[in-house]
Amino acid sequence: MTALPDPLELRAVSAGYNASDIIRSVTLAAARGRITTIAGPNGAGKSTLMKTLAGLLRPRVGQILIDGRDVTRLPPPQRALAGLGYVPQERNVFRNLTVDENLRIGFEFIRRKASTSEYTAARDRIIDLFPDLSGRLKHVAGTLSGGQRQMLAMGCALAPGPTTLLLDEPSAGLSPRYVTTMLDAVAAVNRSGVTVAMIEQNLIEAMRITHDAILLVAGEIKGRWVSDAFLSDPLVRELFLGGAKAASTKADHRRMTDDASAA
Which residues would be at the binding site for ligand ATP (CB under 6 A)?
Answer: 17, 22, 40, 42-48
Least Å distance between CB 46 and ligand ATP? Answer: 4
In the complex with ligand ATP, the residue whose CB is nearer, 17 or 68, is 17
In the complex with ligand ATP, the residue whose CB is nearer, 51 or 136, is 51
In the complex with ligand ATP, the residue whose CB is nearer, 82 or 183, is 183
In the complex with ligand ATP, the residue whose CB is nearer, 162 or 219, is 219
Least Å distance between CB 23 and ligand ATP? Answer: 8
Least Å distance between CB 171 and ligand ATP? Answer: 13
Least Å distance between CB 50 and ligand ATP? Answer: 8
Least Å distance between CB 65 and ligand ATP? Answer: 21
Which long-range contacts link 122-130 to residues 24+ away (Cβ below 8 Å)? 122/159, 122/160, 122/161, 123/159, 125/158, 125/192, 126/155, 126/158, 126/159, 129/155, 129/158, 129/185, 129/188, 129/189, 129/192, 130/154, 130/155, 130/185
In the complex with ligand ATP, the residue whose CB is nearer, 45 or 106, is 45
Least Å distance between CB 88 and ligand ATP? Answer: 11
- Which residues are within 8 A (CB) of 61 and not within 5 positions of it... i.e. 6 or more apart? 12, 13, 14, 25
In the complex with ligand ATP, the residue whose CB is nearer, 46 or 237, is 46
